[in-house]
């Protein structure tokens, strides 16, 4: 597994924290957005690092929690 250096600012993002906790791949896009890919290949979330975009964060967290593969590991 490759460790990703997530900037301090991004770690405060609840979506990034949750994604990291669940083994998602975290990358930066050129535009400064965070790309979060689920380890099962079925979900992708584009998160913003803007502290004012709380709606985006909430939506990203929601998508991460809804990953359909999350509860079927080992099947
Ligand atoms: Zn998924």
Q: What local confidence, expressed as pLDDT, does residue 52 receive?
A: 75
Q: Cα of 55 to ligand 1 centre, how many Å?
A: 21
Dist CA 48 CA 33 (whole Å): 5
Long-range contacts of 24-30, Cβ-Cβ distance < 8 Å, separation of 24 or more: 24/64
Q: Cα of 5 to ligand 1 centre, how many Å?
A: 22
Q: What local confidence, expressed as pLDDT, does residue 16 receive?
A: 87
Q: What local confidence, expressed as pLDDT, does residue 1 receive?
A: 47
Burial class (CB in 10 A: 0-12, 13-18, 19+), 28: middle
Per-residue pLDDT of the chain (75 residues; tens, 9 = 90+): 455 666 665 667 888 889 999 999 999 888 878 899 999 999 999 887 776 777 888 889 999 999 988 765 554
Dist CA 34 CA 15 (whole Å): 10
Q: Cα of 8 to ligand 1 centre, how many Å?
A: 25
Q: What local confidence, expressed as pLDDT, does residue 66 receive?
A: 94
What the block records as the tokens of 62 is 């929601």
């Amino acid at each position: 597994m490759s460790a990703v250096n997530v900037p301090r600012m991004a770690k405060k993002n609840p979506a990034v924290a949750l994604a990291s906790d669940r083994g998602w791949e975290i990358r930066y896009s050129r535009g400064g957005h965070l790309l979060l890919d689920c380890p099962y290949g079925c979900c992708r979330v584009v998160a913003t690092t803007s502290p004012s975009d709380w709606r985006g964060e909430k939506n990203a967290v929601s998508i991460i929690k809804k990953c359909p593969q999350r509860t079927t590991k080992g099947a």
